[in-house]
Amino acid sequence: MKQLFAAACAVACVTAAPAYAWEPTKPIEIVVPFGPGGASDQMARTLQGLIQKHSLSPQPVIVVNKPAAAGGEAMMDIQKSARDPHKLLTTSSGIYMTPLSTKMPVNWRDFTPVAMLAQDEFLIWAQGSAPYKTLTEFIEAAKTASPPFKIGGAGSKREDDLITFALGAETGVKFAYIPYKSGGETSTQLAGGHIQASTGNPSEEIGSFKGGTAKPLCLLSEKRMRYTTKVANDMSWSDVPTCGEQGVKFTYNMLRGIFMPGRVTPEQQAFYVDMFKKAVETPEWKDYLERSGLLPDFRDGKPFEEFLTADEAKHKELMGKAGFLPTN
């Protein structure tokens, strides 16, 4: 009888034990280094909703936008929040590009990597009524254009600017890059014919694509997207050819990841790694990936840190060639 009682007690004790060695004890802030409505903000709010719906955290999640200084405000905030396990940072390639281009005294190594959730795809977009249907036709027209073709993007010395430089360098075409405040503003300028092309991701141009004011010429990735559901003009994302299929070798994808402040405990980091592992398996997240044309790519631990190291080196090399690095 005593043995049966002890066994029952053991089962009860295991059942009653907490699921994690550490759990948040107050609301969790997801700090977004861009303004409301952008791709990073959309990701954070998607995560906020599905974490709540599927009870992945004992505490609520709050999204806080800190877009000042090209995301530098958000990074400095997380840097100053060392040991605070109730703050998270959504990030993109800006985690390297902003410090490299401004000499801001912050580095991703000041933070605690949690996980990469996906990679963002980039496309070359043309105005919907433009005569060219392929990147090849666009490049041929650009070679003789006077004044030079304008390519718009969000911000200066950031991803869109870097893509425009790389495209011009490989094709020998001189483009005029026009920076705007956001991908949404860029899309509006393209639709109005004020620029000849943009380098936005799917979520930034999908409205114009459906409305016929923008069309994708090619995808700046090694492989076509996997999504076969029709999006616009009887086309799916998988129907968009890669730029490589049209002779341009340059490729570009952007990480979408989550960081914590530095000097948190392994147990605190482990809670969030597990939370996001569960998050990316939900139907809502998979719908979000397809809707936004994102490349699924979950990495944590050493694989994530190895990615960050290699991706930072790639950006530093490209930015040096483009003249985006400070000279002193």
Q: How do residues 245-292 score in pLDDT, each as one tens digit?
A: 999 999 999 999 999 999 999 999 999 999 999 999 999 999 999 999
Same domain, 140 and 197: yes
Which residue range is the domain that position 214 belongs to?
Answer: 123-251
Domain membership flag for residue 21: no
Contact (Cβ atoms closer than 8 angstroms) between residue 151 and residue 127: no
Confidence of residue 2 (pLDDT cuts 50, 70, 90): very low
Q: Are strands 214-219 and 28-32 parallel, antiparallel or unpaired?
A: unpaired
Same domain, 87 and 127: no
Contact (Cβ atoms closer than 8 angstroms) between residue 221 and residue 295: yes
Same domain, 258 and 243: no
Q: Could you tell me which residue, 232 or 36, shows the higher pLDDT?
A: 232
Q: What is the mean pLDDT of residues 31-49?
A: 90
Domain boundary among 199, 216, 251: 251
Q: Are strands 253-260 and 87-91 parallel, antiparallel or unpaired?
A: antiparallel
> How confident is the model at residue 81, as a pLDDT?
97
Contact (Cβ atoms closer than 8 angstroms) between residue 258 and residue 108: no
As for how many domains the chain has, the answer is 2
Q: What is the mean pLDDT of residues 160-165?
A: 97
> How confident is the model at residue 8, as a pLDDT?
44
> How confident is the model at residue 34, as a pLDDT?
84
Q: Could you tell me which residue, 273 or 42, shows the higher pLDDT?
A: 273
> How confident is the model at residue 311, as a pLDDT?
97
- Give the pLDDT confidence of 11-21 residue by residue, as tens digits: 344 334 446 89
pLDDT above 70 covers what percent of the chain? 94
Residues 11-34 as b or e (16 or more Cβ within 10 Å = b):
eeeeeeeeeeebebeeebbbbbbb
Determine how many CB atoms are found less than 10 A away from the CB of residue 194.
14
Confidence of residue 327 (pLDDT cuts 50, 70, 90): confident
Q: What is the mean pLDDT of residues 290-295?
A: 94
Residue 1 has pLDDT above 50, yes or no: no
Contact (Cβ atoms closer than 8 angstroms) between residue 108 and residue 259: yes
Domain boundary among 251, 279, 302: 251
- pTM of the predicted structure, to 2 decimals: 0.90
Domain membership flag for residue 33: yes
Same domain, 234 and 286: no
* CATH code of the domain in which 184 resides: 3.40.190.10
How far is residue 287's CA from residue 284's CA, in Å, rounded to a whole number? Answer: 5
Confidence of residue 184 (pLDDT cuts 50, 70, 90): confident
Same domain, 280 and 239: no
Domain membership flag for residue 328: no
> How confident is the model at residue 11, as a pLDDT?
39
Under 8 Å CB-to-CB from 210, ≥6 apart: which residues? 231, 232
Q: What is the mean pLDDT of residues 226-251?
A: 96
Domain boundary among 231, 251, 271: 251
Determine how many CB atoms are found less than 10 A away from the CB of residue 306.
11
How far is residue 93's CA from residue 284's CA, in Å, rounded to a whole number? Answer: 25
- Give the pLDDT confidence of 105-146 residue by residue, as tens digits: 999 999 999 999 999 999 999 999 999 999 999 999 999 999
> How confident is the model at residue 328, as a pLDDT?
72
Confidence of residue 70 (pLDDT cuts 50, 70, 90): confident
Domain membership flag for residue 261: yes
Under 8 Å CB-to-CB from 24, ≥6 apart: which residues? 57, 58, 59, 85, 86, 271
Helix (H) or strand (E) holding 152: strand 150-154
Confidence of residue 177 (pLDDT cuts 50, 70, 90): very high
How far is residue 10's CA from residue 5's CA, in Å, rounded to a whole number? Answer: 9
- Window from 13-22, 92-101, 192-201, 217-226 with minimum mean pLDDT: 13-22
Contact (Cβ atoms closer than 8 angstroms) between residue 166 and residue 318: yes
The pair of structure tokens assigned to 239 is 């129907």
* CATH code of the domain in which 99 resides: 3.40.190.150
Indicate the DSSP class of residue 111.
S
Same domain, 37 and 68: yes
> How confident is the model at residue 3, as a pLDDT?
47
pLDDT above 90 covers what percent of the chain? 86
